[in-house]
A and B are shown apart, each in its own frame.
Chain A
Amino acid sequence: GQQVMQIPQYQHVQEGEDFTTYCNSSTTLSNIQWYKQRPGGHPVFLIQLVKSGEVKKQKRLTFQFGEAKKNSSLHITATQTTDVGTYFCGPGNTPLVFGKGTRLSVIA
């Protein structure tokens, strides 16, 4: 099945700094989904991207899907402590095959 790689694996930022995580695939993806898992919690769906070059925003979160539909990114502007957690990406296939995720910690 399709596999994705996520970088970085860990990211520590000061509160107020920006944060970006990248999701890369060796094959073209039909779409990509992003999920967030808070520490001790369960994954929660954030967004799905379908179109080449698509950009979607959710408040301080900006999601992009590459023109070639092989990569995606999640950018958080001015991080807050509520952003702490692990962000997973994966092709929106059935079943989901997640990347290993990027664990974000925010230092207040």
Chain B
Amino acid sequence: NAGVMQNPRHLVRRRGQEARLRCSPMKGHSHVYWYRQLPEEGLKFMVYLQKENIIDESGMPKERFSAEFPKEGPSILRIQQVVRGDSAAYFCASSPRAGSNYEQFFGPGTRLTVL
């Protein structure tokens, strides 16, 4: 049973370009979460999605960031017009259901570097 997959593992972008980060949850998991981790800091929640729906995007910056989880295919976190401050590790996690009794399984992360 493959774990959570993320690609690319490393992404380099120049300021102003777009970054697309992909996450395939574990088989049977329909809940996906995105987190951002700045260097030497903790994990910060960004957005929670269920198939075709955004459930909670309270941690998403208001501009330039968007996320989707289509009926078919991976979840995508999209960052438009990247700036140096977007450089971070972006982790995706999945769970089979929502609620307080379910652990989250994390992917290996995408390390984004903005030049």
Contacts and interface: CB of A to CB of B under 8 A. Distances in A.
A44 interface: yes
Interface string B90-111: 0101010011111111111100
Interface residues of B, number: 24
A93 B100 contact: yes
Nearest to B40: A103
Nearest to A31: B100
Interface stretch (B12-20, B42-50, B68-76): B42-50
Contact of A44 (B41, B59, B106): B106
Interface of A: 30-31, 33, 41-45, 48, 50, 86, 88, 91-101
Between B93, B95, B100, the greatest number of chain A beta carbons within 10 A of the residue's beta carbon is seen for B100
Nearest to B98: A94
A45 B109 contact: no
Interface of B: 31, 33, 41-43, 45, 48, 56, 59, 91, 93, 95, 98-109
Given A43-B43, A96-B45, A91 B108 contact: no
Contacts of A98: 42-43, 45
A94 B101 contact: no
Nearest to A6: B42
A95 B44 CA distance: 10
A43 B100 contact: no
Contacts of B98: 94
The 9 closest A-B CB pairs, nearest first, are A100-B42, A45-B103, A94-B98, A42-B106, A92-B100, A95-B45, A95-B48, A43-B106, A98-B43
